[in-house]
Every structure is written in C-alpha cells, then in structure tokens.
C-alpha cells in the first residue's frame, strides 16, 4: 500500500496537475483559529504541513517568522500542536500517523 504522501502526488499526476502543498504554523493566532485555518486549506490542498512554532525561525521567511512568534506569544506549547493535529484528524477522519 502506498503512503498517503505518495497517493497525493499520484492523484495530482493522474489529474495532470501539480500537487498543492500548504504550510501553516500551529497555534498562529489561537489554537481554535489554527484548527479552522487547517480545515479550510485542507479542502483545497493535496498535502497540509503543520509547523511547530519555535523561537529561532531565522531560516524561515518573514511571514513564517511572524506566525511563529505570534503563536509563541499567545502561549502555544508542543502539546497544543499535537492537540490541533489530533482534532484535525478527527474532523477529517484521516487514518494516518502524524
């Protein structure tokens, strides 16, 4: 059985289009808003990456840096990131590991 990532790329290839991969920082603004954003973009994206906010995102672009700092300032912790992923998984009934 192919991985879900492989399946996403194969589906895009079968539809003769590029795969759309998105990225959002977990907890940017609030946990609730972050989950809403993730759910929304997942309706259009083939793959959604949920990033852990950290205090040294120097290799990231300005938008991601700002998002990470905002999430940290609002008190997002590692367990919150897993909570967002778990809630997203429940809402989409996805059978995969995060």
Q: Output the furthest CA–CA distance in the chain (Å, rounded).
A: 43
Residue 77 lies in a domain: yes
CA distances from 19 to 10, 36, 40, 56, 69 (A): 9, 22, 17, 29, 29
Residue 57 lies in a domain: yes
- pLDDT band, residue 20 (cuts 50/70/90): very high
Residue 98 lies in a domain: no
pLDDT of residue 81 exceeding 70: yes
* CA–CA distance, 90 with 48 (Å, rounded to integer): 15
Residue 96 lies in a domain: no
pLDDT at 58: 75
Q: Which position has the higher pLDDT, 94 or 19?
A: 19
pLDDT at 92: 77
Whole-structure pTM value? 0.79
Output DSSP code: residue 54.
-
The catalytic residue positions are: 49, 60
Residue 97 lies in a domain: no
Total number of domains constituting the chain: 1
């Amino acid at each position: 059985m192919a991985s879900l990532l492989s399946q996403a790329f194969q589906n895009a290839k079968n539809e003769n289009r590029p795969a759309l991969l998105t990225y959002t920082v977990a907890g940017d603004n609030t946990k609730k808003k972050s989950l809403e954003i993730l759910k929304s973009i997942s309706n259009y994206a083939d793959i959604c990456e949920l990033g852990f906010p950290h205090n040294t995102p120097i290799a990231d672009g300005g938008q991601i840096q700002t998002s990470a700092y905002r999430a940290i300032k609002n008190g997002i912790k590692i367990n919150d990131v897993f909570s967002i992923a778990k809630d997203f998984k429940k809402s989409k009934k996805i059978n995969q590991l995060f």
